[in-house]
Homo-oligomer: A and B are copies of this chain.
């Protein structure tokens, strides 16, 4: 039965091209996300193994390496010097935004594949250099959009492709979290424009609905409008404690988003079409639940064990699958660069108080 088959393959890895082989990873930047989410995800993966951990201090790196059965702990300097380069095949760059470039440049020099966290860098210019470094060295480069391998998102994409909701018309996205409660430090890097880049809420959170809508709808943005404000003193150096922005996507679809680093956690993506509606709620940080409605039909589907760790496991295995077989990476460096250009336009639109055109085709 179709419904049964559809549910049966809900978490099927329809992207998978191999189940053979192992990619040995060096993890660069040992913040809470790398330690609490990425390391367990890799342990749970089929095709990845953590062999090297890289951090600012030898002690921290080595202690975590011992704790998690990795072979080596290295400092950033040792990594840049190529120490133990034969002990890993690829690097995961999980450092603050403005340090991505240097780590990718080293990976390129060492001929290692790269999985780089999003946003790709702090600015468009630095992200362009990052992509150029990878392309010149001809290493695989993936931007770490874990929504691309999130089952609820993939099923939503297929429903849109099948015409289930008719023509998509309008999209609403939200991504908010209380970053000062999560990390009680007003001087954290996400609030420092030298490290985070253009700002914090759109760079770190708004990027989720932007990229997920692009992926699900296969439409790129053509212009941006935005409003932003910062009131809390910890947000004094960034413009977007609160942000609201609208992107016009190809074909005139409007993507209206809100994002804030100083609000209670909520993640949501809602796609309204001529005949039906899809909602991911929650959408972006694990436990994604797909709500479908069409006429008087209502369906709700969730995978209860799909937390952030499972999302990262799928992402790591997708990356490893591509590295092992050489198959195309969808969210590659240029795909991540498109979002950087879009985000720059959003900050520019907020700053100028007017709609800013985005011409990705020409900028590529």
Contacts and interface: CB of A to CB of B under 8 A. Distances in A.
Count class of interface residues, chain A: 20 to 34
Contacts of A306: 296
Interface in A259-311: 292, 294-306
Interface stretch (A8-16, A119-127, A239-247, A349-357): A8-16
Contacts of A155: 1, 3
Contact of A3 (B6, B294, B300, B304): B6
A159 B301 contact: no
Nearest to A310: B296
A4 interface: yes
Interface string A5-38: 1111111000000000000000000000000000
A297 B303 contact: yes
Given A7-B3, A292-B7, A301 B298 contact: yes
A7 B158 contact: no
Contacts of A300: 298-301
A347 to B, nearest CB: 37
Nearest to A151: B297
Of A4, A164, A304, which is in contact with the most chain B CB atoms at under 10 Å from its CB?
A4
A6 B1 contact: yes
Contacts of A1: 6, 155, 158-159, 161-162, 164
Contacts of A8: 164
Interface string A51-82: 00000000000000000000000000000000
Contact of A304 (B5, B9, B298): B298
A4 B162 contact: yes
Of A7, A11, A306, which is in contact with the most chain B CB atoms at under 10 Å from its CB?
A7
A10 B300 CA distance: 14
Counting from the closest, the 5 A-B pairs by CB-CB distance are A3-B6, A1-B158, A2-B6, A296-B305, A4-B162
Interface of A: 1-11, 155, 158-159, 161-162, 164, 292, 294-306
